[in-house]
């Protein structure tokens, strides 16, 4: 047995076949739900895997998942892994031209898609020469273009529920497409063994990683049930899918919703006794806090022992509000990326006053981006991680050469985040170098200013971008969404508020009030949008 994700999942199934593995709840108000034990999920994935093999797909070919959250999403990921196909996530917000790019860039040979995306898939298909097999989840909408697609239910019915697959390898791949807010998305290529250790904590987030593959099932067999993981963001983003696999590695339960509806999330936490919920920053957390303060006051959150954010930072203000409402839960700002897996977590004193401070794992360093040597205390460098890192970006050797490097006997990935390190090894993340604003020769990282803005009582959400400026080169512009019922703040009021937390050159020189802040479905910042809105308001 090797560190192969399908092998590891099957080893867990074999020791806890009758434990509940996956709960899917459709909402709002439909009452529709499905529950699968580990044995049932395994057999469902086997059926789809055999169908894909029978359809002529070969090991190493790429299978796209163009789906909302559902049983079918995780079932398809498992089916791909079992059949030695490479799962590829597809952003369901993409329009036809973006889909053409991704389908072609990823060299998709097959696609599993939700029926409501039929028109977009049909539009992209003629320009994706390698895509030859389609599986549709649900009935095609009335008037939708005709597609030669196999119904998901039919694909399941055709396949055998037994295993009987060829031997797998730790070198089998898993691709996570990332980005798109500042450029075209990139496919991060992971060996499954590396992803197991870097993204899934080696099977043990709270302790020692397993030392041999068989140890995972041995631990599960000795453990009890009772943990429920709730990845609230879309599964199309790597964090949620990996969170689900962390739960599977524990032999525990995963709860998923089709879409993010804050009130339904809270009701599910109460009803299903959720122990761990993962979110993405304030965009997902603020609505939960507002609901607990208002219409859902008194909802029982006592089962929660952790609320975590990955992909975007929870502001100190919102984090403190949630902690007051759920005093017994750990509120965690986790830090990682599609290129590195986990890097560490925020310190307790992380916030606007001291910055976003991290306790990093032993594989993470702040290095000079040219020499790759560790920077001195207080100097600015870039975060880097060694050891279990991806192979590179699919179909992009130039970007791979910029981001991944060999140092001694180890392979490294150079991340986009600028940072410093102190005498105690605590890393302060300044922000993405690509978003850094140069104003009058001073460097301003948007995330730091956003943290200060979100501490304002009338600010619901905010993004910060640089706008061309004849005097300063660029100036700091704040795009702000005002809290419901609050008066719109003035630029002078925002500046006075920020000056108590930031150096003068970091204080916004422009304020744009927007009806809402545009983010990805997972809550990640869309800085291209913020820059465009601010520049248009400034007339530049």
At 462 the three-state DSSP class reads strand
Q: Is 86:80 a contact under the CB 8 Å cutoff?
A: yes
Rounded to 5°, angle at Cα 200 from 328 and 25:
65
Q: Are 174 and 167 in contact (CB under 8 A)?
A: no
* Domain definitions of the chain by residue range: 5-211, 346-431, 440-538
Residue 540's pLDDT is what?
74
Distance CA 25, CA 31 (A): 7
pLDDT in tens, 385-431: 999 999 999 999 999 999 999 998 999 999 988 999 999 999 998 88
Q: Are β-strands 510-513 and 473-482 bridged in parallel, bridged antiparallel, or unpaired?
A: parallel
User: pTM of this prediction?
Assistant: 0.88
| Span 337-360, pLDDT tens digits | 899 998 999 888 877 667 788 999
- Cα torsion 102, 104, 107, 109 to 10°: value is 100
* 328 contacts: CB under 8 Å, gap ≥ 6: 302, 304, 305
* Class of the CATH-defined domain 5-211: alpha beta
Dihedral sign for Cα 364, 369, 372, 374, please: negative
The Cα 514–Cα 461 span in angstroms is: 10
**Which residues are registered as beta bridge partners of 477?**
465, 510
98-102, 244-248, 433-437, 515-519: least confident range: 433-437
Q: How many CA atoms lie within 13 A of 199 on its CB side?
A: 29
Cα angle 90, 94, 98; round to 5: 95
Mean pLDDT of 462-480: 93
pLDDT of residue 181: 45
Mean local confidence (pLDDT), 178-184: 63
In the prediction, which pLDDT does 364 show? 95
Model confidence over 511-538: pLDDT tens digits? 999 999 998 766 678 888 999 999 999 8
Please give the CATH number for the structural domain made up of 440-538.
3.30.300.30
Q: At what angle do helices 71-82 and 238-250 cross, to 10 degrees?
A: 70
Parallel/antiparallel/unpaired status of strands 410-421 and 404-407: antiparallel
| Cα–Cα dist 17/111, whole Å | 29
DSSP single-letter state for residue 19: S
What is the architecture of the domain spanning 346-431? Roll (2.30)
How many CA atoms lie less than 13 Å away from 250 in the CB half-sphere? 23
Mean pLDDT of 423-448: 86
Q: Are 90 and 104 in contact (CB under 8 A)?
A: no
Could you tell me whether strands 427-432 and 356-360 are parallel, antiparallel, or unpaired per DSSP bridges? antiparallel
pLDDT tens for 13-59 read 999 999 999 999 986 556 689 999 999 999 999 999 999 999 999 99
Q: Is the pLDDT of residue 183 over 70?
A: no
Look at residue 114 and tell me whether its pLDDT is greater than 70: yes
Is 460:483 a contact under the CB 8 Å cutoff? yes
Is the predicted pLDDT of residue 509 greater than 60, yes or no?
A: yes
Reply yes or no on whether the pLDDT at 153 is more than 70. yes
Average confidence (pLDDT) over 292-319? 91
Q: Which one, of 318, 313, 311, 356, lies nearest residue 337 by Cα?
A: 311
Helices 446-454, 491-499: crossing angle, 10 deg rounding: 100
Residue 281 has pLDDT above 90, yes or no: no
Which residues does 300 contact at the CB level (< 8 Å), separation at least 6?
270
């Amino acid at each position: 047995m090797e560190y192969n994700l399908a092998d590891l999942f099957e080893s867990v199934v074999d020791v806890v076949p009758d434990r509940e593995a996956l709960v899917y709840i459709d909402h709002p108000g439909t009452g529709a739900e499905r529950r699968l034990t580990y044995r049932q999920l395994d057999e469902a994935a086997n059926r789809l895997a055999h169908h894909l093999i029978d359809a002529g797909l070969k090991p190493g070919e790429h299978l796209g998942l163009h789906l909302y959250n559902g049983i079918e999403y995780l079932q398809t990921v498992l089916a791909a892994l079992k059949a030695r196909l490479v799962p590829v996530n597809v952003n369901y917000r993409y329009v036809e031209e973006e889909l053409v790019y991704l389908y072609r860039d990823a060299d998709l040979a097959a696609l599993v898609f939700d029926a409501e995306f039929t028109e977009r898939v049909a539009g992209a298909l003629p320009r994706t020469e390698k895509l030859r097999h389609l599986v549709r989840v649900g009935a095609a909408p009335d008037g939708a273009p005709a597609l030669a697609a196999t119904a998901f239910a039919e694909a399941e019915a055709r396949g055998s529920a037994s295993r009987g697959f060829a031997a797998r390898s730790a070198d089998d791949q898993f691709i996570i497409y990332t980005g798109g807010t500042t450029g075209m998305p990139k496919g991060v290529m992971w060996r499954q063994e590396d992803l197991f250790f870097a993204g899934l904590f080696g099977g043990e987030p709270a302790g020692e990683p397993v030392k041999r593959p068989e140890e995972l099932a041995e631990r599960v067999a000795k453990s009890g049930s009772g943990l429920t993981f709730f990845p609230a963001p879309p599964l199309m983003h790597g964090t949620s899918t990996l969170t689900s696999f962390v739960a599977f590695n524990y032999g525990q339960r995963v709860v998923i919703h089709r879409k993010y509806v804050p009130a339904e999330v809270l009701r599910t936490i109460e009803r299903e006794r959720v122990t761990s919920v993962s979110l993405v920053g304030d965009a997902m957390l603020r609505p939960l806090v507002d609901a607990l303060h208002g219409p859902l006051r008194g909802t029982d959150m006592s089962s929660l022992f952790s609320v975590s954010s990955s992909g975007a930072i929870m502001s100190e203000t919102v984090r403190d509000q949630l902690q007051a409402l759920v005093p017994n839960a750990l509120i965690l700002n986790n830090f990682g990326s599609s290129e590195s897996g986990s890097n560490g977590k925020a310190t307790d004193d992380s916030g606007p006053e001291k910055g976003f401070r991290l306790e990093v794992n032993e594989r993470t360093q702040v290095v000079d981006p040219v020499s790759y040597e560790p920077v001195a205390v207080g100097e600015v460098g870039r975060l880097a991680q060694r050891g279990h890192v991806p192979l590179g970006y699919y179909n992009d050797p130039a970007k791979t050469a910029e981001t991944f490097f060999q140092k001694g006997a180890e392979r490294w990935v150079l991340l986009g985040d600028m940072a410093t390190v102190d005498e105690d090894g605590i890393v302060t993340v300044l922000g993405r170098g690509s978003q850094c604003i140069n104003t009058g020769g001073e460097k301003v990282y948007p995330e730091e200013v956003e943290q200060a803005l979100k501490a304002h009582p009338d600010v619901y959400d905010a993004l910060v971008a640089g706008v061309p400026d004849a005097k300063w080169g660029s100036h700091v512009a704040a795009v702000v969404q005002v809290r419901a019922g609050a008066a719109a703040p003035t630029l002078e009021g925002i500046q006075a508020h920020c000056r108590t937390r930031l150096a003068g050159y970091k204080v916004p020189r422009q304020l744009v009030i927007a009806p809402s802040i545009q983010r990805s479905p997972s809550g990640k910042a869309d800085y291209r949008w913020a820059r465009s809105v601010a520049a248009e308001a400034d007339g530049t």
